[in-house]
C-alpha cells in the first residue's frame, strides 16, 4: 500500500509586545504585524481602567472581543451593547463604534485580517489619543509580511509604502543654517540625487542608513520628524520607491533590497518639523565615528 505522510508544524512565531502604554490603557500584542510580523490575524491582551473610553473607531476588518474581566459598553450610532466577563462580542467590518469601561476590564481582541492603523480609523479628541495613534503608526511603519490568499506568497504591505510620519537625517550645521536663513532646507546632494530629499518612515532603519551613507561626514547630526500631510499642505509631493544612492554612495544592495523609501520632491519647509532628535556617535559622542543611536527614537 502506498505510504501516506502528514505534515505538521509547531513553532514559536513571536512574543508579546507592548504596543500601547497610556494612562488607563495597556495593550500587549500577542500575534500580528508587530508581535509576529504576520498580517493574517492579530491577537492582543488589553487592560482598561474604570471610567476610561476609546474614541470612536471605524474598522476595516472583522473583530471578536472576548471579555475576560469587568464590563465593556459598545456605543454605536443610536445603540449600546454591554458585554460582561465570559462573553464574546463580534464587530463586523465597516462598523463605527466607541468602547467604554464603567469598571476595570480585561479583554482579548482578535482581528481578521490583522490590526493595522490604516485599518482602524480613530476619531481622537485629545492629545493623549493622538499620542496613541502616533505610537501605533511608528510601530507599524516597518515591512509587514502580507499573505496572498491565492497562493500563500508573502508580499509587502501597503502600510510601508506610504507611512505618515517621516524622518530625515542631516548635520546640525546644515539644519541650523536653514533655520537662521528662514528658508526651506535642502540636503547638499539634492541636485546630484535628482532634485529630491531622502527620507524614511521606518525608525529602525535609521542607524543602518546613517552608517552606510553618512559615516564619513564629521560633525554632530540631528534627525528631523515631520509628516507626509504637512508636506502635501505645502504643495510638496512624496514619491515612494526603491532605495536610491545618496551623492556618490551607492545603495546597500543586500541590506536595502526590499525597502520602500519616501523621496520628497522638494526641500523640507522648516516650519513643518515637529521634533528634532539628537544623534549619537562613537568617538567623542556626537561628531565622529559610527552612529550608535538616536535619543528617544532609535
Please tell me what DSSP assigns to residue 39.
Answer: S
Per DSSP bridges, beta strands 25-31 and 42-48 are antiparallel
Instruction: Answer yes or no: are the C-beta atoms of 245 and 263 closer than 8 Å.
Output: no
DSSP string, 187-225: -TTHHHHTS-EE-BS-GGGHHHHHHHHSTT--S-EEEEE
What is the CB-side half-sphere exposure of residue 297 using CA atoms within 13 A? 28
The predicted-structure confidence for 117-131, as pLDDT tens digits, reads as follows 888 888 888 888 888
Three-state secondary-structure class, residue 284: coil
Three-state secondary-structure class, residue 31: strand
Instruction: Answer yes or no: are the C-beta atoms of 105 and 76 closer than 8 Å.
Output: no
Give the model's pLDDT for residue 161: 52
Count each helix (H run) and each strand (E run) in the chain, helices first.
Answer: 6, 21
The predicted-structure confidence for 63-84, as pLDDT tens digits, reads as follows 999 999 999 999 997 799 999 9
Give the model's pLDDT for residue 285: 54
Q: Domain 17-160: give its CATH superfamily.
A: Jelly Rolls (2.60.120.10)
What the block records as the C-alpha cell of 138 is: 511608528
53-57, 88-92, 139-143, 258-262: segment of lowest average pLDDT: 139-143
Domain coordinates in residue numbering, the chain = 17-160, 162-294
Q: Tell me which CATH code domain 162-294 carries.
A: 3.20.170.20
DSSP string, 245-280: -BTTBPP-TTTTTT-EEEEESS-B-GGG--EEEEEE
Give the model's pLDDT for residue 146: 45
176-190, 233-247, 256-270, 281-295: segment of lowest average pLDDT: 281-295
For residue 286, what pLDDT band results from cuts at 50, 70 and 90? low
Amino acid at each position: 500500500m502506498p505510504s501516506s505522510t502528514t505534515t505538521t508544524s509547531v513553532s514559536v512565531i513571536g512574543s508579546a509586545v507592548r504596543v500601547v502604554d497610556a494612562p488607563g490603557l495597556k495593550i500587549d500584542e500577542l500575534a500580528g504585524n508587530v508581535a509576529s510580523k504576520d498580517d493574517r490575524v492579530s491577537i492582543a491582551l488589553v487592560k482598561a481602567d474604570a471610567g476610561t473610553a476609546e474614541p470612536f473607531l471605524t474598522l476595516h476588518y472583522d473583530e471578536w472581543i472576548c471579555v475576560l474581566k469587568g464590563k465593556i459598553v459598545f456605543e454605536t450610532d443610536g445603540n449600546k451593547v454591554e458585554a460582561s466577563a465570559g462573553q464574546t462580542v463580534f464587530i463586523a467590518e465597516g462598523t463605527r463604534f466607541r468602547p467604554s469601561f464603567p469598571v476595570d476590564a480585561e479583554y482579548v481582541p482578535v482581528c481578521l485580517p490583522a490590526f493595522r492603523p490604516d485599518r482602524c480609523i480613530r476619531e481622537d479628541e485629545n492629545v493623549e489619543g493622538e499620542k496613541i495613534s502616533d505610537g501605533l503608526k511608528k510601530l507599524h511603519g516597518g515591512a509587514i509580511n502580507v499573505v496572498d490568499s491565492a497562493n500563500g506568497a508573502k508580499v509587502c504591505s501597503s502600510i510601508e509604502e506610504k507611512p505618515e510620519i517621516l524622518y530625515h537625517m542631516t548635520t546640525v550645521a546644515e539644519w541650523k543654517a536653514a533655520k537662521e536663513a528662514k528658508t526651506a532646507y535642502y540636503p547638499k546632494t539634492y541636485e546630484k540625487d535628482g532634485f529630491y530629499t531622502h527620507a524614511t518612515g521606518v525608525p529602525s532603519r535609521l542607524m543602518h542608513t546613517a552608517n552606510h551613507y553618512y559615516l564619513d561626514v564629521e560633525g554632530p547630526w540631528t534627525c528631523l520628524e515631520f509628516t507626509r500631510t504637512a508636506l502635501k499642505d505645502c504643495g510638496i509631493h512624496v514619491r515612494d520607491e526603491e532605495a536610491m544612492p545618496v551623492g556618490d554612495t551607492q545603495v546597500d544592495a543586500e541590506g536595502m533590497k526590499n525597502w520602500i523609501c519616501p523621496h520628497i520632491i522638494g526641500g523640507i519647509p522648516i516650519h513643518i518639523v515637529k521634533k528634532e532628535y539628537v544623534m549619537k556617535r562613537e568617538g567623542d559622542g556626537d561628531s565622529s565615528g559610527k552612529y550608535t543611536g538616536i535619543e528617544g527614537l532609535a
